[in-house]
Amino acid sequence: MAAPFSAAEWQRINMTLEAGPAAYGMPERRAGSVVLASWNIRKFGALADGTGPKKSPGAFAMIERFCRECDLVAIQEVQSDTGSIYALRDRLNAAGGAYALVISDVTGRAPTRNRKGMAERSAFLFNTARVRRGDLASDLSYDRTAILSNINAAMATSIANQLGETADPGFLDRALHWISGTTRLAADRLDNFVQFIRSPHLVEFVIDGPQGSYAFYCVNAHLVSGKNKREREQEFFALLEWLLIDSAQTVVRDGKIYLLMADLNLDFESSLDRRRRGIETYITDLNAERGLTAKVNFPFLDGGLHTNARKDETFDHIAWVALDDRLPRGRHNGLAGTLGPDGFDYGMFDFTRLFVEAGPGRGPDGAPEYARFEHDFSDHMPIWLRLPLPSDTQHRFVVG
């Protein structure tokens, strides 16, 4: 593995950043607005092992540098060992912050069998001077009755396809009965959605302003990765369907805002345009079928931002399901950054560009040397959303 940046190289990187943070998408804390972020910090677990720090001091300081500009950060890939996430909170507070944590249990781990790399926690890091915990915290999952129905249907189809025609009409029933008594399925990928590999974690947060408040149901999710695009597609649309169907009560009746802050591993279509059209069609059809009225906005599908370190995919998203006219609909995303310093905006901290332009991240051929920072720092860019503090005078996104 390539050597991570040295202390001297991190100093060059920091000097380049501080000369113009906004040029690299670093958000700025401002008095009249809040910054809400999502970041998959690669393998953010133990602070150190027998060989030394798991992340170099310079990498950890840059993680801290970003987080101190944010009021709420949803973090994915927190490991079973929570040393790093607690150290991040403690360092921010030692520098004058007032940060707290909500951390999920480990999810994606099976009692007797595990997919390598799937088990992890999610965490919310939040600035208690701006953000307060609400009452609700829960994993998000589907009813087991539907899960079992899907398993049975998928097994029946799979076995019938594998066995083909048989002269014994009772053989298929006997085979299904035998499999249902075993501890493992014959295959670990089913055509129907069964359950999230890593359960999304939902926590309520409230942000108070001069007049009014935002009540967010924040959903921190890291959907399944790997080579099976069909499985990723199933998880994404299952999550979207869950939020939309529940919105009739949570959003329309109770006035909450679903805020999805996630690494969705969303690459099941060949382009952002096709992906956006597919999502829009799904939402339109489901809303018509169920009579749903809440509106969905995925601004990072519009922004042309590639959120992985190699800048060829838009895996990471902050999106919302709402009826609140203080939040923009999709047609308003072009107004981002035009409504004043505290108005609606969104962006991405492009650390790959920073590392290359500062020098240490640039190889002899001028291309990024990903191996020097993808593991030590991260392989995902942090993304962020700015909203004004609630007030009677804030911009309203009214559809005429």
> pLDDT value at position 10?
99
Assess whether 119 and 259 both reside in one domain: yes
> pLDDT value at position 329?
94
Is 14 inside a domain boundary? Answer: yes
Number of domains in the chain: 2
Assess whether 203 and 76 both reside in one domain: yes
Average of per-residue pLDDT across 36-63: 96
332/344 Cα distance (integer angstroms): 10
The H or E element containing residue 97 is: none
- Name 174's Cβ contacts closer than 8 Å, sequence gap at least 6: none
Assess whether 244 and 374 both reside in one domain: yes
Assess whether 375 and 280 both reside in one domain: yes
Is 398 inside a domain boundary? Answer: no
Assess whether 224 and 323 both reside in one domain: yes
Res. 234 pLDDT band, cuts 50 70 90: confident
Is 190 inside a domain boundary? Answer: yes
Assess whether 157 and 222 both reside in one domain: no
Assess whether 218 and 171 both reside in one domain: no
> pLDDT value at position 48?
94
Is 296 inside a domain boundary? Answer: yes
Assess whether 111 and 152 both reside in one domain: no
Domain boundary among 194, 212, 236: 194
pTM: 0.86
Domain span including residue 190: 142-194
Is 204 inside a domain boundary? Answer: yes
Per-residue pLDDT at 209 exceeds 80:
yes
